[in-house]
Amino acid sequence: MLKNLLAILACMLFGFSYGQVKSPAEFLGYPVGTKVTPHWKVLAYYDHILKQVPGQVKMESYGESYEGRPLRVYYISSAKHIANLDQIRTNNLKLAHALEGDGDSNGPAIVWISNNIHGNETSSIEASMLTLYALVDPQNSKSKAWLENTLVILDPCLNPDGTERYNNWYNGVVGKNYNPQLYAREHREPWPAGRYNHYYFDMNRDWAWQTQQESVLRASIYNKWLPHIHVDFHEQGINSPYYFPPAAEPLHEVITPWQREFQTTIGKHNAKYFDSKGWLYFTKERFDLFYPSYGDTYPIYSGAIGMTFEKAGNGSAGLGVYTDDKDTLTLVDRAIQHHASGLNVIEIVSQHAPKVVAEFKKFGDDAASGKLSSFQTYIVKYDASREKTLRALLTLLDKNKIKYYAASGSVRGFDYFSKKDGNHTLQEKDLVIPGNQSKGALIRVLFEPEAKLTDSVTYDITAWSLPYVYGLPTLASKSKLADLRPYSLDSIQNTVGSNFGYAIKWDGFSSAQLLGALLKQQVTVKASDQSFKIGAEEFPKGSLLIMKNGNKQKEVDKLVKAEADRLQVRVYAIQSGIMEGGKDLGSSDVKTLKAPKVLMMAGEGLRATNVGEVWHYFDQQLQYPIVLVNPTDFSRVKWDEVDVFIMPNGNYAFLKDKAQSAEFASWIRKGGKVIALEGVVSQLAAQEWSAMKVAKQDSATKSKSNPLKKYGDRERGALENYTAGAIYKVTIDNSHPLMFGIKDYFTLKQDANLYQYMENNAGWNVGYIQENAKMSGFVGHQLGKKLKNGMVFGTQKLGQGTVVYLADNVLFRNFWESGKLVMANAVFFAVE
Ligand SMILES: [Zn+2]
């Protein structure tokens, strides 16, 4: 191994070549790590290898990033395996019970290596070229032997848009020689940083939710393979030398003894090599295995040994940087270490290949028999008024290859909303998700009401149970159900041609998507703030009415049909202007909705991921225009053209500028609408005109400090007042337009902030947390006592304008499905 790596290093540095197969240094014209290589050039090197050794390498394109850059994987193995790729793949899916039939356990072990999901963590994409070369180098007898029983799948770059954002910036600011001073500008990456994709999403939080195009495409090809080992390469701060498995607690309970054991085997093997080089590292710290949407956990819950590897580096490292202990951290070293880890993993997996495959099969067998489940069945109860949200859930299940059914009979189980056990007679459209299937472990993690934490110090949120995220009444049952039938909801094909017009129920996010699409196309749309009936159909508050007479848009029928069919939303023909149980169509309470002009600031000072959540929501989900403005351009905005100003989390300098904040308040008073998110609520609460006040703690719940606390307990002690993210029930006033179409709302509480109820008609308290409202997740016991009797969602009228306060993130990572309608209500309806 050592000799082998030295040989590779020599090639890398001096550019030796073997026949037609060029080393990366020879191909690039410089040793790997001495320059930051553009994405296209990395792919060009891969294609060079593909051309030279077609028998051992195969490429599959799996789509494009948002900015149109290619997404690809390369398969590398012995000629025998490369000739049989599809047979290996389908056989493997049989082992996982993802395909019918008996799989054969004699196939090769499958190692998948993912690089650069965070685009400014530069070393892994560079290292991957060295790894590719080591695997195909004709002189390398070791790798040849590994590939006899191992198939390697290399994804050179999961996030090419972020990678190129970083690379272009870095190559533009670095001089002929790099400057290692940390305060030099080449170590000060500008907003929003290359870590994120086009919409500023952290894609290493998005594996399960797949809100981003790159995530959807990757999960699709990943689930077509289900590899046995998944390596996810990253970089951490420049002063933390190297992290590799085994992972830190908490580990989710569903993780099997074998998955734990083999992480340790891999870690020890890597440690041996690092020790031989005198390289520093740590294991079992910081990087836990709990939240399901990472590049280690998602593969683990799908049967792999999923692992994170972190080298010192990231956007501040450049080609070389001084660390705190006066060492110089170089990209050359970073690449060499990730390259070494990659080869070490392949080597140890090859040594254990039969066992790796056998254990993968066992995971599949256990998942399929329900051994990995805590509850055996999840039943999402059908409610016609939540069908749109149910459709959104089905989309998520399909993306994750989770199978669902219909069934009959009765069942006993835990009711998520009441938190009590109860009986339920199954209805025709109730959705049944059996725990005993290929994705049984993932189902358990996504659905179980409460995941057991072995340690409360965790890297991320502690609750994400889908019935709360979607606001769908669900039972978790210990029973398996028999006689499962295929499940589907009717595909919606609307019939149009009414003389009068159409009504659309306001009861899910797709209602809002349809509204956005119609407004964008100049269709005149009205909304009723009273519920009404057409025949037997009930239309809740907020439902939309589209009259043909007097409509600005003359092609109403055609547009309504096209958009409603695309979004799978039912439209109902209106036969008469008299509405049963509601105001008639000519009533002044049936108001025409204005197509609001929406603006948001996006730039330095604001949290990029929160800006990205709003941007993606408008641009991709609503497909409704939003103007993004640099925060420094406050005074350039033509505010009289703006109707809605959205303020994602961050610091707004204009609020501290006397003249600008006065201009802002005067814009609201003249009829502007502000939607303040998360921490911005407290910034606005500090303005003299705001009716919001942070909730006071009563003396009984004030935490008393313990003077005799132990030093060694300080980390855990700090958790008493902490939550990383837990789910709370929000009591809602759904007669208020901000909550139209919502029946139950559960919020992700990520901080200690609650607000006092607004009194004396100062505003509306639309969503608040009462006693015993915690549904799921970890909250420190001192904080737990405080999180009650306070407001999270409210509105205030100011002059002719409105301020909407959303203290919790309703668009969290854009998977918090029920929050999307709250945001749409805030944008489109008069919410004073
Ligand atoms: Zn990373």
Question: How far, in Å, CA of 59 to CA of 50, rounded?
Answer: 7
Contacts of 188 (CB under 8 A, 6+ apart): 316
Average the pLDDT over each of 18-22, 32-36, 528-532 and give the range with the smallest value: 18-22
Backbone φ, ψ for residue 593 (5° rounding) = -85, 135
Q: Which of these ranges, 591-605, 613-627, 708-722, has the smallest mean pLDDT?
A: 708-722
In whole angstroms, what separates CA 82 from the centre of its chain? Answer: 33
C-alpha 571 – ligand 1 centre gap (Å): 45
1 has pLDDT over 50: no
Rounded distance from Cα 120 to ligand 1 centre (Å): 8
Cα of 30 to ligand 1 centre, how many Å?
26
Reading the block at residue 447, the tokens are 């659905």
Give the Å distance between the CA of 311 and the centre of ligand 1.
9
- Per-residue pLDDT averaged across 693-721, rounded? 66
Q: Is 424 helix (H, G, I), strand (E, B) or coil?
A: strand
**Structure-block tokens of residue 473:** 């009444």
Per-residue confidence (pLDDT) for residue 473, from 0 to 100: 98
pLDDT tens sequence across 534-579: 988 999 999 999 999 889 999 999 999 999 999 999 999 998 877 7
> Ligand 1: distance of its center to the CA of 602 in Å?
23
Q: What pLDDT is recorded for position 562?
A: 98
Q: Is the pLDDT of residue 409 over 70?
A: yes
Strands (E), 303-443: 305-312, 320-322, 328-330, 377-380, 405-406, 410-415, 420-425, 431-434
What does the pLDDT average to over 454-482? 91
Q: How far is the CA of 671 from the centre of ligand 1 (A)?
A: 44
pLDDT given for residue 705 in this prediction: 61
Is residue 11 very low, low, confident or very high in pLDDT (cuts 50, 70, 90)? very low
Question: For residue 295, how far is its CA from the centre of ligand 1 (angstroms)?
Answer: 10
CA of 221 to the centre of ligand 1 (A): 21
Q: What is the mean pLDDT of residues 458-477?
A: 93
**Token pair of 796, please?**
């205030």
Interatomic CA distance for residues 462 and 725, integer angstroms: 6
Q: How far is the CA of 185 from the centre of ligand 1 (A)?
A: 22
Could you tell me the distance, in angstroms and rounded to a whole number, from the CA of residue 122 to the centre of ligand 1? 10
pLDDT digits (tens, 9 = 90+) for 656-668: 999 999 999 999 9
Q: Is the CB of residue 644 less than 8 Å from the CB of residue 598?
A: yes
How far is the C-alpha of 258 from the C-alpha of 256, rounded, in Å? 5
Q: Which residues contact 711 (CB under 8 A, 6 or more apart)?
A: none
- Determine the distance separating the centroid of ligand 1 and the alpha carbon of 814, expressed in angstroms: 20
Would you state the pLDDT for residue 17?
A: 42
List, for residues 194-251, the tens digit of each pLDDT value.
999 999 999 999 999 999 999 999 999 999 999 999 999 999 999 999 999 999 889 9
| Dist. CA 236 → ligand 1 center (Å) | 7
What pairs with residue 230 in β-bridges?
Answer: 112, 306
Cα 310 to averaged position of ligand 1 atoms, centre (Å): 7
Beta strands, E only, 435-531: 474-477, 485-486, 501-504, 526-528
Distance 242 CA to ligand 1 centre (A): 12
Q: Is 64 helix (H, G, I), strand (E, B) or coil?
A: strand
What is the C-alpha separation between 625 and 615, in angstroms, rounded?
10
Q: Tell me, in angstroms, the distance from the centre of ligand 1 to residue 117's CA.
A: 7
Q: Give the residue-averaged pLDDT of 69-76.
A: 98
CA of 237 to the centre of ligand 1 (A): 10
Check whether 827 has a pLDDT greater than 60.
yes
Largest separation between any pair of C-alpha atoms in the chain: 87
Please give the distance, rounded to the nearest whole angstrom, from the Cα atom of residue 182 to the centre of ligand 1.
20
> Alpha helices of 200-256 — where are they, by DSSP H?
213-225
Distance 118 CA to ligand 1 centre (A): 5
CA of 234 to the centre of ligand 1 (A): 4
Of 163-172, 453-462, 511-520, 708-717, minimum mean pLDDT range? 708-717
pLDDT of residue 715: 62
What's the mean pLDDT in 602-618? 98
- Sorting pLDDT into bands at 50, 70 and 90, what band is 717? low
Tell me the CA–centroid distance for residue 202 and ligand 1, in Å: 9
Please give the span between the terminal C-alpha atoms of the chain, in angstroms, as a whole number: 69
> Ligand 1: distance of its center to the CA of 287 in Å?
11
Give 332 Cα–ligand 1 centroid separation in angstroms.
18
Give distance in angstroms: CA of 259 to centre of ligand 1.
22
More confident residue, 707 or 35: 35
Task: Calculate how far, in angstroms, residue 774's C-alpha sits from the geometric centre of ligand 1.
Answer: 32
Q: What's the average model confidence in pLDDT over 811-828?
A: 98
Ion ligand 1: protein residues whose beta carbon lies under 5 Å? 118, 121, 234
Tell me the CA–centroid distance for residue 821 and ligand 1, in Å: 31
- Between the CA of 355 and the centroid of ligand 1 the distance, in Å, is 30
CB atoms within 10 A of CB 61: 11
CA–centroid distance, 805 to ligand 1, in Å, is: 33
The pLDDT, as a whole number, for residue 18 is 45
**Phi and psi at residue 152, in whole multiples of 5°?**
-105, 130
- What is the Å distance from ligand 1's center to 166 Cα? 14
Ligand 1 center–CA 235 separation, angstroms: 5
> For the residues 811-830, what does the mean pLDDT come to?
97
140 touches 4 (CB < 8 A): yes
CA of 230 to the centre of ligand 1 (A): 15
What is the torsion angle, in degrees rounded to the nearest 10, for the CA atoms of residue 307, residue 312, residue 314 and residue 318? -140
**SS3 assignment, position 638:** coil
Structural domains in the chain plus CATH codes: 2-368 (3.40.630.10), 373-443+457-486 (no CATH), 501-592 (no CATH), 598-828 (3.40.50.880)
Chain centroid to CA 806: 20
Ligand 1 centroid distance, CA of 314 (Å): 8
Q: How far apart are CA 340 and CA 4, in angstroms?
A: 11
Mean pLDDT across the chain: 94
Distance 810 CA to ligand 1 centre (A): 25
Distance 558 CA to ligand 1 centre (A): 47
CA of 164 to the centre of ligand 1 (A): 16
283 CA to middle of ligand 1, Å?
A: 16
